[in-house]
Chain A
């Protein structure tokens, strides 16, 4: 069953590549069919899980296996859903661009790789799929060449470092315990010394943390997200970086177990608390940087770094509420960030720019995209009745009641900063004046609107009925040893307070209805053009009154000096140093045979001298 899913995913990728060389229409139908089938298969797996199957028995003394349980199912269904939507979105986005076939092959390989990661039952399979995912990601990021190539290179260098760290951890585990199977590692690690555990944790933290873009491993993410093709940016931000989150949960909570992980400390600093602090820093700094961005996708990319901080904070804080909140936020972030990237992709597709300083006023031209973006931003900020509210509420509550107001403060600042950058995004793209050159912009094509509609519906459904998702996540956290929550369809009840979306929904509906009625009964209003009331009908030079450039100018002037990415500077410095060192080393190779002969003779002479002088050999 599980092997079938992966065979469909990978086999489908290759078959559609071959088919695509003959007919692109057939390939488009095939790719969509494959991923809709995978969504179906994963949904079916919900009813038969937990299930595991061995696909390669006795590899180095343990079985290579696939497995699915409620935890990996949550990730699998998110990957399948977003993957399908990204493929549908690609239909018109990638049409007519070069190397279409190659693009689809890689997109399917990445999605398949991610699916493989979450279905893996041992570290070896996980590592294999991890590499498939990483390398196809590299090729996809650099799909547009030019700047994208540099972004991709930056990504793959960090990714390789991360894989190296993972490999070391795996070898160490294998050398010590002789197994890398998920079900056998917990019992082995239960007796491990704390020092060894921290060693293993740090290695995995490097490996998975780079993917998850935790500070200070975040520098690859902003260029990669902004340069990749839009549907892939959505996947990248929505699920791909969460593979890091997945890995961390597996290592911390499945291998070591909640009890061991949370008790790991040297008396003053506990390990999980340091991770929380890291999460808090990851929330705050990128939020401020995001406010300064003028490239729509770069802004969203920095926001992704910040939101990933919430997930890390929630997952490592170590209470049931925080864990549920963190995991729910993973799902929510996948939905709203994918939506926002796709929406910006649709805008970019029609206007061929994503520069926030030159767009504006597209609300009348792309109404569906506008409404979807508003809903996505609602989720990002966490406006009540959208999904982001509930996950953040759970985290805030536990952070405050467990006596960690400073972590809560970081989380709040992240939200209030999000208001600034997300309003900038929506204002500079959709509101304000429409520049002359975009007067003729057409609506987004249907294949782009469809994923947006689906995602915004999902955001509202999870916002109004959080119980649907929380129930599932609650099972996971209970299985990991956290105390269960009392979940209803509308929210969570606990002894320290509850939240109920039903109240909020009904209150809003009734009040809006009353206000709307009063509004209707007032005197009529006439529709006037945008220049009409502002200049009282006098002719004005068009395009001169567009206040989108430097939207937060006063704030930016204050903050910019403090917000240089020092970590990025450090990495670039190291890269530059290595480059110069290599350049110097290269000078040794002159290309003349004579020089090489001279090197050999010198070396021989030195050896003979050493031998004569000290008589070593």
Chain B
């Protein structure tokens, strides 16, 4: 019970902090790759605080409500998605519920942005939904492969089973869907070469074009959270969540186990994210059709092969 309350309070807070840090990390690492000094790591925090003190234009009730629903949807995901040993409400619904909760945030943005009536926003949302549909095919296949392999729909059970065995990414046959997930990860995170949604030089940041002030602040937070969700899922499903070859779970103190578990989990998340930043740094943006074509061919094919092997085996 105590763990539950601790989880309910800390999971979203950890997620928010990690999400903001990820945004700062992108800018810093990109800058270093381009031989610049770059802004401080906490620049996004400063920006968001500043944004909350700025006046902003609004286009109506849905314009604000959509933003609120969107960020609330992103936060609620973390009550059901395990972060390390913290998984306050994860017993109800499992992977299926998480997949559905992940929809709330984009739908909120889509409703809010739609009322803004800016054509760039509409184009951005249209691209976002197309891109989402493209990578979801692979994502669903990998989810199904993991759930079928472990015979459960509970994400906590999936993490537990990797504790005793090997991490899914390094075990046969889940390595195949794992690779497929890695291939679509930039698309899930909206990073280059798949940053067609925001595409600042083409469509003025797409869905974010109309936002200013606190709206933009909340949307920045939301984008950080979304990126964190995409990687946290990967870490939970394929990198064993908080597991470190049994090193942590063998400790006696349960509070310490959870604490170290969260730390290990975050380290894994940031490592995966770092790799994606490197990918982003060297690749140019593709067009939407090219993105869809790519996502529906290689990753989907690999994931399908993985699912067939899991299903037959």
Cβ–Cβ contact B110 & A416, under 8 A: no
Cβ–Cβ contact B125 & A416, under 8 A: no
Query: Which residues of A does B touch, CB under 8 Å?
Result: 361, 363-364, 370, 374, 381-384, 389, 393, 396-397, 400-401, 403, 405-406, 408-409, 412-413, 416-417, 419-420, 423, 426-427, 430-434, 491, 496-500, 503-504, 507-508, 511-512, 515-516, 519, 521-528, 530, 532-534, 545-548, 551-555, 557-558
Q: A361 to B287, alpha carbons, bound, how many Å?
A: 28
Instruction: Check B227 for interface membership: any CB of A closer than 8 A.
Output: no
* Chain B count of residues within 8 A CB distance of the other chain: 77
Cβ–Cβ contact B60 & A527, under 8 A: yes
Known contacts A519-B64, A523-B54; decide if A363 and B115 are in contact (CB<8 Å): yes
Cβ–Cβ contact A420 & B130, under 8 A: yes
Instruction: Check B140 for interface membership: any CB of A closer than 8 A.
Output: yes
Q: A384 to B96, alpha carbons, bound, how many Å?
A: 11
Q: A550 to B20, alpha carbons, bound, how many Å?
A: 36
Give the secondary structure class of A's interface.
Answer: helix
Cβ–Cβ contact B214 & A519, under 8 A: yes
Neighbour of A389 across the interface among B52, B71, B100, B122, CB < 8 A: B100
Cβ–Cβ contact B58 & A393, under 8 A: no
Cβ–Cβ contact A405 & B56, under 8 A: no
Cβ–Cβ contact A515 & B53, under 8 A: no
Query: Which residues of B does A touch, CB under 8 Å?
Result: 12, 51-60, 62, 64, 67-69, 71-72, 75-76, 79, 89, 91-94, 96-97, 100-101, 103-104, 107, 110-111, 114-119, 122-123, 125-127, 129-130, 132-133, 136-137, 140-141, 144-145, 147-148, 151-154, 210, 212-215, 217-218, 287-289, 292-293, 307, 310-311
Cβ–Cβ contact B72 & A403, under 8 A: no
Cβ–Cβ contact A503 & B89, under 8 A: yes
For B58, give the chain A residue with the smallest CB separation.
A525
Cβ–Cβ contact A497 & B94, under 8 A: yes
B119: chain A residues at CB < 8 Å are 433, 534, 545-547
B130 to chain A, nearest CB (A): 5
Cβ–Cβ contact A393 & B97, under 8 A: yes
B245 to chain A, nearest CB (A): 28
Cβ–Cβ contact B214 & A500, under 8 A: no
B94 to chain A, nearest CB (A): 6
Cβ–Cβ contact A397 & B153, under 8 A: yes
A427: chain B residues at CB < 8 Å are 110, 114, 122, 125
Point out which of A416, A532, A552 has the most chain B C-beta atoms below 10 A from its C-beta: A416
Q: A400 to B154, alpha carbons, bound, how many Å?
A: 12
Cβ–Cβ contact A525 & B293, under 8 A: no
Cβ–Cβ contact B52 & A523, under 8 A: yes
Extra A-B contacts (11), CB below 8 Å, given A397-B153, A554-B289: A364-B60, A396-B153, A400-B144, A409-B140, A498-B92, A508-B76, A511-B72, A522-B213, A525-B215, A528-B59, A533-B212
B57: chain A residues at CB < 8 Å are 525-528, 532-533
B292 to chain A, nearest CB (A): 6
Cβ–Cβ contact A558 & B293, under 8 A: yes
For A498, give the chain B residue with the smallest CB separation.
B92
Cβ–Cβ contact B89 & A423, under 8 A: no
Cβ–Cβ contact B58 & A527, under 8 A: yes
Cβ–Cβ contact A558 & B289, under 8 A: yes
For B59, give the chain A residue with the smallest CB separation.
A530
B12: chain A residues at CB < 8 Å are 511
Neighbour of A523 across the interface among B56, B89, B93, B130, CB < 8 A: B56
Q: A431 to B108, alpha carbons, bound, how many Å?
A: 13
Cβ–Cβ contact B52 & A522, under 8 A: yes
A238 to chain B, nearest CB (A): 24
For A534, give the chain B residue with the smallest CB separation.
B118
> Could you write out 17 A-B pairs with CB less than 8 Å apart?
A363-B60, A363-B114, A363-B115, A384-B97, A409-B307, A412-B144, A416-B133, A419-B132, A426-B114, A496-B152, A522-B53, A522-B217, A525-B64, A530-B59, A533-B118, A534-B210, A545-B118
Cβ–Cβ contact B140 & A413, under 8 A: yes
> Top 7 nearest A-B pairs by Cβ distance?
A431-B114, A522-B214, A547-B122, A525-B58, A547-B119, A530-B117, A405-B144
B141: chain A residues at CB < 8 Å are 409
Point out which of B93, B115, B151, B154 has the most chain A C-beta atoms below 10 A from its C-beta: B93
B14 to chain A, nearest CB (A): 15
A547: chain B residues at CB < 8 Å are 119, 122-123, 126
Q: A552 to B136, alpha carbons, bound, how many Å?
A: 17
Neighbour of A419 across the interface among B97, B129, B152, B214, CB < 8 A: B129
Known contacts A497-B154, A515-B71, A523-B214; decide if A507 and B288 are in contact (CB<8 Å): no
A530: chain B residues at CB < 8 Å are 59, 116-118
B151: chain A residues at CB < 8 Å are 401
A496: chain B residues at CB < 8 Å are 152-153
Point out which of A381, A384, A433, A528 has the most chain B C-beta atoms below 10 A from its C-beta: A384
Known contacts A499-B97, A523-B56, A547-B119; decide if A409 and B130 are in contact (CB<8 Å): no
For A382, give the chain B residue with the smallest CB separation.
B100
Cβ–Cβ contact B75 & A363, under 8 A: no
Cβ–Cβ contact A401 & B129, under 8 A: no
B51: chain A residues at CB < 8 Å are 522
Q: A365 to B136, alpha carbons, bound, how many Å?
A: 35
Cβ–Cβ contact B107 & A383, under 8 A: yes
Cβ–Cβ contact B117 & A401, under 8 A: no
Cβ–Cβ contact A552 & B126, under 8 A: yes
A431 to chain B, nearest CB (A): 3
B114: chain A residues at CB < 8 Å are 363, 426-427, 430-432
Q: A307 to B96, alpha carbons, bound, how many Å?
A: 19
B151 to chain A, nearest CB (A): 7
Q: A433 to B121, alpha carbons, bound, how many Å?
A: 11
Cβ–Cβ contact B218 & A515, under 8 A: yes
A538 to chain B, nearest CB (A): 14
Cβ–Cβ contact B76 & A511, under 8 A: yes
A96 to chain B, nearest CB (A): 33
Q: A417 to B136, alpha carbons, bound, how many Å?
A: 10
For A360, give the chain B residue with the smallest CB separation.
B117
B218: chain A residues at CB < 8 Å are 515, 519
A411 to chain B, nearest CB (A): 10
Cβ–Cβ contact B55 & A363, under 8 A: no
B212: chain A residues at CB < 8 Å are 533
Q: A401 to B69, alpha carbons, bound, how many Å?
A: 32
B95 to chain A, nearest CB (A): 9
B52: chain A residues at CB < 8 Å are 521-523
B72: chain A residues at CB < 8 Å are 508, 511-512, 515
Cβ–Cβ contact A431 & B292, under 8 A: no
Cβ–Cβ contact B64 & A420, under 8 A: no
A526: chain B residues at CB < 8 Å are 55-58
Neighbour of A497 across the interface among B104, B126, B153, B210, CB < 8 A: B153
Q: A7 to B114, alpha carbons, bound, how many Å?
A: 50
Known contacts A416-B133, A499-B92; decide if A383 and B213 are in contact (CB<8 Å): no
Q: A552 to B103, alpha carbons, bound, how many Å?
A: 19
Neighbour of A408 across the interface among B68, B100, B144, CB < 8 A: B144
Neighbour of B111 across the interface among A406, A431, A434, A498, CB < 8 A: A431
A370: chain B residues at CB < 8 Å are 62
Cβ–Cβ contact A400 & B153, under 8 A: yes
A526 to chain B, nearest CB (A): 6
A394 to chain B, nearest CB (A): 10
Point out which of A361, A419, A521 has the most chain B C-beta atoms below 10 A from its C-beta: A419
A196 to chain B, nearest CB (A): 34
